[in-house]
Structure formats: structure tokens, C-alpha cells
Chains A and B, each alone.
Chain A
């Protein structure tokens, strides 16, 4: 479904990604892991179009991804969330989803909006101002809601669980798991927590200093002492 080939990104001479290869198949749940600054969010930014790579190719289904503007990628079925939630300003929660649905799918379906609100536990908050009147968990849920409203084929979750307390994290993990099981969506999640990755993902891709250093099942990844050293930031000299 998604294929990144030798993607490199440089910011002012500093290499953020170097020859990154990433494949995501239909219905797959992939974890993108690595220490802070490894380039995980940059991979999402390349896929969603917010960052142009300096080299490499990217295909999504039959589309040459890098030639498409950001909004066309969303229309084609790529949805993402932001690590720091970005609710659409000046709009209510429901209006956030209405805009995402209308532009992401080209049609309006109020029933589907109600289903998404219900699934994310946001029905009670639907008419509230999305930017000012929500708690962090609700902001995180709205990020997922906006993505779902575009009726995606591939969902990119950028630290969707970060900042949540234990109970909230557990509920959110179950919600994402249920979403994957019920819809068969392909999902890539950036997440630091090993247990969560192990529970959710069929495969984990490890990034370090902008390079892919491992691409395996979570069990194998987290048994590899070299990968774990990188993952926890304890690099050998």
C-alpha cells in the first residue's frame, strides 16, 4: 500500500532522514520507534506532504506520492494526527469533523460523524469549541476523529498516547486496537512505550539518527540488545 524508497531529508545541511525505506501493507499495524530526534515525525511529514524529501521515491497504492499536494494525499486516503493536537481553530468539535469529512471524502454524512463522536466518547463535547474547551484526552481523541472523518486507508498516529495518564492510555490503546480490528485500516503509530507497541503492532521499524536500523516483529526488535541500546539512548562509543 505504502512504499518509501531511499527517502532522505535535510534541514539546512543537517540530515534528518537518510535513505529510509518503509513498506506498509494493507491492514497492517506498524510501530515506528526510536529515540527522540530520530526522525520519526519527519517520516510522517514526508508521507503527509508537510516536508519535501531531498531524495527518494514514495508510492501510495498506484500514486506517485511526492508529486501530490498535501490535500490530495488526504483525499487519496492518508490521514494523520499531530503529536501536539491541532484542533481546527474557531470551530466546534463537530465542525472539525464536518470539515474533515467534506474535504477528505468529498461528501457529507452526518450519521457517520455521530458514529465517530460516539466511538471516541466525544458526543457530549460535540458542540464545544475544539481549541479551548477540551481536556488533553479529548484533544487526542479529536485528532483521531478528524483523521477518521476523512475515511482513510492509512492512518498515521503521531504519539497519540503521549501525555496520557495510565488509565487514559490503556483506554486509548484499546480504542485504537478495536479500530484496527473492526476497520482493517493500515495504521502506523509512533510510540515510545514497548508494551504498547508489542500489544498493537505486527511489525516495528526502528529509526536512529534518521536511519532505519531494524524492521522486525516487536518481539525480535525488543530482544535485540543493540536495538535496545539505541532505543533507550545508551549508545556504545
Chain B
């Protein structure tokens, strides 16, 4: 129990202090870490929806794009400060999820496909509603992240702290929700929906709440991205990559764990960009694909559970060794 509490605390301290201290001066690596955390944030939101809401989404790009557009337009056209606009971006994505809610009546692959269709619809809207979104030409000069108490959050390290905080808050909320009574009801709904309904669980409302929450987190991450790269166009904001990469990251890391999606995003993105890309500049993603397949075959629950099992095994072997020696 104590070890369970210490490990996340050490990881959080390392992420806030050690990573910037060790790599803060290497702009390229920090950029990659920020990108990995951006994918990690969506991966956490995606896995939360799957684990607790029981829904597999192929359309999180929709929520990412809506969050990015809402925040960018509020800062540019309505003069909103960046952070409130980012929250409004999340709220915009949550509201957009309401449009997709008729899809909640669908199950399994039908839900996944309908959400994919919604992502496509949002991309078309962003392209065609030129008077609001500036159309296919995109939005330039989106305001950067602000300077707070003399610390420039638009710098590489500043951006890192902002996205890290967003992702960790999402994970903390996810962990809290999973332990709550609502989380228990959501877990039970997967296989025994009628039994949960007859004890008073409003299952459709809870699923809608999960979808809105997942969309909110994804929207905030999308908004962060818009203010970090200062540019947006429909093809970029609603790109299928914002759906595929988080799914790959979550499955690789272990989508049923809280930390798995983030660990997966950091490992696959950084290994891909820093290692595979160096010796296979074109088509390096193929190694990533092979790695994912290998993970699914060898450890379907993902990297984090695999590491946990290995650590437990090593501990048991060491303990046995000590006993034998005694």
C-alpha cells in the first residue's frame, strides 16, 4: 500500500524537477516530450472513456479540434485570456460531445464508427464555416501561452509544465472517479447494465457524463496545442492522427491502468522520434506498428502491467533466494 503511494509521488517529482533539469536546455528533446504529453493527455481521456464508460471511440480528433478552435477564436476574436479560453475550449468539446450523444444508444463498433463520422463532420464544418473559422486557410498568430509571475509559459520548459499539469490533473481526476461510487457503477454497467439500472443507476446519463468528461479533457489538450504551436487549420486540428496515436499509446502502455496511456505515449513517441527515426527517416512508423503488434501478442494488457508483473516476479525470486540462503 505504501509502495503504491510512493511510486507515483516519485514519478511526479521526477517529471516536475528532474526532466526540466536534465533536458531543459535541449530544445528539440523538450519539444518531443511536449508532443508526447499532448498525445498522452488524449490517450488518458480515451482510455477513461473506454474503461469507465465502456465506449471505444475512433473520433477523439473531433474533440481535440473543437477545443483548439474554440480557444483560438476566443483569444483572437473575443480577446479572452489564454487559460480561461483553454477551459472554454474543453467546455466547447464537451458541448460538441452532446451532439454525438444519440450515438450512445449504439454499442461496440457501431458507436466507434458513428463517432468517427462526427469527427469528419466537424472537420468539414471547420472548413466550410469560413466566416467564423477562417476556413481551409487556417488561423495564424494564435496568442501564445502567457507569462505568469515572470515565468514564460510559452517557452519549451513553460509549455512542458502546462501540458504536464493538464495530463496529471486528468489522471488524478480519473483515479478519483474510478474509486468513487459513480466509478463502481460505471464499471458494473459494462457487463450487467440491466442489474445496475434496476438499483437506480441512470446508465445513459452516466455514459453521457463520461463522454463529456473525456471530450472536455481532449478539448483542453487541443486548446493547449493551438496556443503552443500558434497555428491551426481544419486538416491539422481534426487529423486522424489525434485519434490513432492516443489509441496506440493507450493500448501499448496498458489502457486499463491509470498511468498506462501516459507511459505508452512517452515511450512510443520518444522511442519513435529519437531512435527509429534516426536510422529509418522514412517509414519509421512501421517499426512502431510492429512493436504494438508484438505488445498485443505478448502482453495484451500493455507495458505497465507487464512491468508490474516482472517486478513482482523479480521480488519473489529475490525473497525466495534470501530465504534459501538463510
Contacts and interface: CB of A to CB of B under 8 A. Distances in A.
Interface of A: 48-50, 69-71, 74-75, 79-80, 82, 86-91, 95-96, 98-100, 102-105, 108, 146-147, 149-150
Nearest to A80: B198
B77 interface: no
Nearest to A105: B200
9 contacts: A70-B194, A71-B203, A74-B198, A86-B195, A88-B184, A88-B192, A91-B184, A103-B181, A147-B199
A28 B202 CA distance: 29
A82 B199 contact: no
Contact of B184 (A75, A79, A95, A146): A95
Contacts of A70: 194, 197-198
B192 A100 contact: no
Which of A48, A99, A100, A102 is most buried by chain B, counting CB atoms within 10 A of its CB?
Answer: A99
A104 B196 CA distance: 10
Contacts, number: 80
A225 B200 CA distance: 42
Given A86-B192, A88-B195, A88-B196, A99 B202 contact: no
B197 to A, nearest CB: 4
Given A98-B181, A99-B181, A108-B181, A89 B188 contact: yes
Interface of B: 181, 184-185, 187-188, 190-192, 194-203
Contact of B188 (A50, A91, A108): A91
A88 B194 CA distance: 10
A74 B197 contact: yes
- Across the A-B interface, give the 7 residue pairs with the lowest CB-CB distance, nearest first: A88-B188, A74-B200, A103-B200, A86-B195, A100-B199, A104-B200, A89-B191
Contacts of B188: 88-91, 96, 99
B198 A99 contact: no
Contacts of A147: 199
Contacts of B181: 98-99, 102-103, 108
B197 A71 contact: yes
A86 B194 CA distance: 9
Contact of A89 (B192, B198, B200, B201): B192
Given A87-B192, A87-B195, A88-B192, A150 B184 contact: no
Which of B181, B187, B200 is most buried by chain A, counting CB atoms within 10 A of its CB?
Answer: B200
A69 B202 contact: yes
A91 B187 contact: yes
Nearest to A48: B198
